[in-house]
C-alpha cells in the first residue's frame, strides 16, 4: 500500500471518529436534559396554606346534646277490661295526686262485694257467738278455731273484691300535667289500653352523655347552662343531679342527668337541648384549626413546614415533615394538641392530600383556615 493511500485512510478514520464522538456526546447531553426535565416535573413545589401553632387559653368545658325527660312521667293505662262509664278530667289540665280520671263499669263487682260482705258479717256473728259459748264450755275449742278461720277467709274475699273494684278506677299517681285523652265515654277498653299521659314538668331532667375522655369534667352538683331552640334567646341553669355508675361498653360514653327548674312548663319531655358544663381552672394548650389534623386509624398526623436551605434564586426552599400528634379537646373550629408539636412551628392547613415527607412546597395564605372557637351559622 502506498504512502498516499495510507494517509487518506487515517484521515477518513479520524473524521469518522469525530463524527461518532459528536453524535455520542449529543445523545448524552440530550438524555441528561430529559432526566432533569422529568425530575423537575415529577416533584414540583406544591401550593399550601399554613398557620402557626401557638398556645391559647382553654376553659375546660363539656358540650353535649341531650334529651329532656320529665321528673316523673307515665302513660296511664287500664289495668283491667271494662266499659268507660265516667271521664273526670279535661285534656291538657293539671291533675292532683290521687285524682280520679276515668271510671270503668264496676256494677257486677259491686253486687258480688255485697254478697261477700254479708257472708263475712255472718262469719263474724258465728265466731263471736261460739266464743261466748266456749266460756261456759258449751262448744269445743275446735269449733271456735273453725269459726275464726271462716271469718278470716270471708274478710279476705271482701278485700280481694274491693281490690278488683279499685282497678276499675284510674287515678293520677302523682301531680302533673295531663296530655290528650285517648278514650271516650262508653268505649270498651282492654287491659293495657292507654288512657292519657301524665307528666311532672317542674323540675325537669336533661339526660346527655360525655365521652370517657371528659369524665373528669363532670361531677354531681356542677353548674350546667342549657339552651333549646324552643326558646332560642333564653338560657336555663341547672345542676348535675346524677352520674351513671358505669360507662356504656358499646359507646364508651358516660350518662349524666341534669335537673332544671321549669316553673312555666316551657321545656317539654322529648325536646333536645344543648348542655354546656364548665369547670376547673383555665389551661394553656397548643391550638390548631381542626382542618390541619389528618385523623387516621393508626394515629393523627400533621405536616410541619421545614426550611431546606437557599435556592439558586436566593430564596428559602421549603419542604414538609409528616408528624404524629395527640389531640385533646375541641371547641368550634379549633382542636387542642397535647403532644407532637411545639409553639411557633408552622403547620399546613390546606393541601395535605398532595404531600408526603420531603415534598417541596410554597406558601399561599390568601384564604385563611377557619379558626373560630365559637362559630355561628351565617345567613346566606
Cα dihedral 260, 329, 244, 230, rounded to 10, equals 30
Residue 128: predicted pLDDT: 87
Q: How far is CA 70 from CA 197, 200, 371, in A?
A: 11, 6, 38
Task: Answer yes or no: is pLDDT of 194 > 80.
Answer: yes
Task: Answer yes or no: is pLDDT of 187 > 90.
Answer: yes
Residue 191 lies in a domain: no
271 grid coordinates: 325536646
Q: How far is CA 183 from CA 101, 102, 121, 187, 258, in A?
A: 11, 9, 39, 7, 34
Helical (H) or strand (E) element with 177 = strand 176-178
Nearest to 160 by CA among 171, 172, 148, 152: 152
Task: Answer yes or no: is pLDDT of 185 > 60.
Answer: yes
Q: How far apart are CA 134 and CA 145, in angstroms?
A: 11
Residue 304: predicted pLDDT: 93
Residue 239: predicted pLDDT: 92
Q: Which of 146, 167, 188 is the last residue of a domain?
A: 167
In terms of domains, do 346 and 318 share one? yes
Residue 173 lies in a domain: no
Q: How far is CA 378 from CA 168, 276, 375, in A?
A: 58, 22, 9
Q: How many Cβ atoms sit within 10 Å of the Cβ of residue 192?
A: 10
Residue 344 lies in a domain: yes
Q: How far is CA 97 from CA 87, 102, 205, 256, in A?
A: 16, 14, 20, 29
Residues 6+ apart with CB under 8 A from 240: 218, 219, 220, 221, 222, 224, 256, 257, 258, 277
Task: Decide: pTM greater than 0.85.
Answer: no
Q: How far apart are CA 134 and CA 328, in angstroms?
A: 88
Q: Which of 252, 278, 304 is the last residue of a domain?
A: 278
**For position 131, which CATH number holds?**
1.10.287
**For position 246, which CATH number holds?**
2.40.30.170
Residue range 1-23: average pLDDT? Answer: 63
Report the b/e string of 338-371 with b at 16+ CB within 10 A.
Answer: eebbeeebbbbbbbbeebeeebebeeeeeeebeb
Q: Which domain holds residue 116?
A: 106-167
Cα dihedral 67, 70, 72, 76, rounded to 10, equals -90
Task: Answer yes or no: is pLDDT of 32 > 80.
Answer: no
Residue 1: predicted pLDDT: 53
Percent of the chain's residues with pLDDT above 90: 38
Residue 33 lies in a domain: no
Residue 369 lies in a domain: no
**For position 287, which CATH number holds?**
2.40.420.20
Taking every pair of Cα atoms in the chain, the longest distance, rounded to a whole number of angstroms, is 180
3-state secondary structure of 264: coil
More confident residue, 177 or 42: 177
Residue ranges in the chain assigned as alpha helix (H): 3-42, 107-135, 141-166
> pLDDT by residue (tens digit) across 271-281?
999 888 876 66
CB-neighbour burial class of residue 97 (10 A; exposed 0-12, middle 13-18, buried 19+): exposed
How far is residue 283 CA from its own chain's centroid? 25
> pLDDT by residue (tens digit) across 73-126?
999 999 999 999 999 999 999 999 999 999 999 989 899 989 999 999 998 998
> Number of structural domains, the chain?
3
3-state secondary structure of 144: helix
Residue 194 lies in a domain: no
Residue 308: predicted pLDDT: 79
Q: How many Cβ atoms sit within 10 Å of the Cβ of residue 170?
A: 23
Q: How far apart are CA 31 and CA 349, in angstroms?
A: 39
In terms of domains, do 267 and 303 share one? no
Q: Which of 278, 294, 317 is the last residue of a domain?
A: 278
CB-neighbour burial class of residue 85 (10 A; exposed 0-12, middle 13-18, buried 19+): middle
- The chain-wide mean pLDDT, for the chain, equals 85
Amino acid at each position: 500500500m502506498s504512502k498516499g493511500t495510507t494517509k487518506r485512510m487515517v484521515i477518513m478514520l479520524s473524521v469518522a471518529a469525530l463524527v461518532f464522538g459528536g453524535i455520542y456526546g449529543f445523545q448524552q447531553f440530550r438524555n441528561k436534559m430529559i432526566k432533569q426535565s422529568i425530575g423537575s416535573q415529577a416533584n414540583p413545589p406544591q401550593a399550601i396554606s399554613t398557620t402557626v401553632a401557638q398556645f391559647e387559653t382553654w376553659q375546660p368545658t363539656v358540650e353535649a346534646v341531650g334529651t329532656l325527660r320529665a321528673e316523673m312521667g307515665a302513660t296511664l293505662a287500664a289495668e283491667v277490661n271494662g266499659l268507660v262509664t265516667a271521664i273526670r278530667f279535661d285534656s291538657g289540665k293539671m291533675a292532683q295526686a290521687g285524682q280520679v280520671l276515668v271510671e270503668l263499669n264496676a256494677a257486677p263487682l259491686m253486687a258480688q262485694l255485697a254478697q261477700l260482705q254479708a257472708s263475712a258479717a255472718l262469719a263474724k256473728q258465728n265466731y263471736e257467738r261460739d266464743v261466748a259459748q266456749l266460756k261456759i264450755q258449751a262448744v269445743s275449742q275446735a269449733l271456735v278455731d273453725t269459726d275464726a278461720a271462716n271469718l278470716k277467709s270471708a274478710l279476705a274475699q271482701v278485700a280481694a273484691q274491693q281490690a278488683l273494684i279499685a282497678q276499675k278506677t284510674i287515678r293520677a299517681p302523682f301531680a302533673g300535667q295531663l296530655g290528650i285523652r285517648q278514650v271516650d265515654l262508653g268505649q270498651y277498653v282492654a287491659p293495657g289500653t292507654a288512657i292519657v299521659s301524665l307528666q311532672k314538668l317542674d323540675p325537669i331532667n336533661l339526660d346527655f352523655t360525655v365521652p370517657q375522655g371528659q369524665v373528669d369534667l363532670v361531677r354531681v352538683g356542677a353548674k350546667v347552662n342549657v339552651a333549646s331552640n324552643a326558646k332560642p334567646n333564653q338560657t336555663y341553669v341547672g345542676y348535675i343531679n346524677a352520674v351513671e355508675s358505669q360507662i356504656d361498653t358499646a359507646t364508651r360514653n358516660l350518662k349524666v342527668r341534669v335537673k332544671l327548674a321549669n316553673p312555666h312548663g316551657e321545656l317539654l319531655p322529648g325536646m333536645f337541648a344543648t348542655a354546656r358544663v364548665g369547670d376547673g381552672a383555665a389551661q394553656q394548650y397548643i391550638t390548631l384549626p381542626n382542618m390541619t389534623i389528618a385523623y387516621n386509624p393508626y394515629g393523627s398526623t400533621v405536616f410541619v413546614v421545614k426550611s431546606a436551605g437557599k435556592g439558586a434564586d436566593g430564596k428559602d426552599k421549603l419542604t414538609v415533615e409528616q408528624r404524629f400528634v395527640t389531640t385533646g379537646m375541641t371547641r368550634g373550629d379549633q382542636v387542642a394538641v397535647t403532644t407532637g408539636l411545639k409553639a411557633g412551628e408552622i403547620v399546613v392547613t390546606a393541601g395535605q392530600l398532595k404531600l408526603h415527607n420531603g415534598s417541596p412546597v410554597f406558601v399561599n395564605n390568601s384564604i385563611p383556615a377557619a379558626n373560630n372557637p365559637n362559630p355561628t351559622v351565617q345567613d346566606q
